[in-house]
A = this chain, B = another copy of it.
Amino acid sequence: MEKIYQGKTKDVYRLGDHQILLQFKDDVTGENGVFDPGANTVGLTIAGAGRSGLKMTTYFFEVLNRLGIPTHFVSSDIDKVQMIVKEAQVLGKGLEVICRYRAVGSFLRRYAAYCEEGQPLDSFVEVTIKDDERGDPVISEDALAMLGILTTENYQVLKSLTQKICGVVKDELAKKGLELYDIKLEFGYDKADNTLLLIDEISGGNMRVYKDGTYIPPLELEKLFLS
């Protein structure tokens, strides 16, 4: 089994036949030992974080697959903390698509002149470039088109698919009295047939979830949500 990439929170192996094995790790992103889903560095290691993320991810991908939303998910093995997925080609050199329901995090840091912390946002979508060196800059629909990363037509598909997926996640969380503030997704093209797929994971590490106004960290979120 060929290891093709060592990520911040997962290691990636090629299985052949356009399939990939993701080995979830207990490392989570953050800075100075504090978890931050928007951070670019591994901030801390939390025992059980990998398994917890995989359980959440499996839950959401299974819901999305049942709804006919294309994802890379094939199967998962919770005991081995592994997920098998379809091989996909990332957009450009890797993009993150963020959907926001409340103004927190980098949105608030940028636009505090025009919004209050926690102000509702109507499933606002923005795209950032995965580029640690340059702090994952936001990139507009027009810039994505001009730089040949994504056509305007594909941007609109990506935006509407993002809002649909995040709406499902938000509704699932709401069933347990949990509120989704923001979430980041990744997409790729299926190497086998080139369709646009949701890739990566959907877990506490990729979203900010609150309960009665208090932020719920990833492991606690998984316990509250899947109990």
A residues adjacent to B (C-beta < 8 A): 92-93, 107, 109-115, 121-122, 124-126, 129, 131, 134, 137-143, 146-149
In angstroms, Cα B146 to Cα A113, docked, is 14
Contact of A147 among B109, B115, B140, B142 (CB under 8 A): B115
Please, which residues of chain B bring their CB within 8 A of the CB of A110?
129, 134, 137, 139
Q: Summarize A's interface: helix, strand, loop or mixed.
A: mixed
Copies in the complex: 2
Sample of 18 more A-B contacts, CB < 8 Å, known A111-B139, A138-B140:
A107-B143, A110-B129, A110-B137, A110-B139, A111-B129, A111-B137, A111-B147, A113-B134, A114-B149, A121-B146, A124-B142, A124-B146, A125-B142, A126-B140, A126-B143, A140-B140, A140-B141, A141-B141
Pairwise interchain contact B121-A93, C-beta atoms closer than 8 A: no
Q: Are B142 and A126 in contact (CB under 8 A)?
A: yes
Contact of A114 among B112, B113, B129 (CB under 8 A): B129
Q: Nearest chain B CB to A161's CB is how many angstroms away?
A: 16
Rounded to whole angstroms, the CA-CA distance of A93 and B142 in the bound complex is 24
Closest to A133 in B: B113
Whole-angstrom distance between the alpha carbons of A149 and B113 in the complex? 11
Closest B residue to A93 by beta carbon equals B113
**In the complex, A124 Cα to B138 Cα: how many Å?**
15
Residues of B within 8 A of A131 (CB): 113
A93 to B115, CA, bound (A): 12
Q: CB-CB < 8 A to A122: which residues of B?
A: 146
Q: List 8 A-B contacts (CB under 8 A).
A: A111-B129, A111-B139, A112-B134, A113-B129, A114-B147, A114-B148, A121-B146, A122-B146
**Identity of the chain B residue whose Cβ is nearest the Cβ of A106 in the assembled complex:** B137
Chain B nearest Cβ from A64, distance in angstroms: 24
Chain B nearest Cβ from A114, distance in angstroms? 4
- Cβ 8 A contact of A93, one of B93, B114, B126, B141: B114
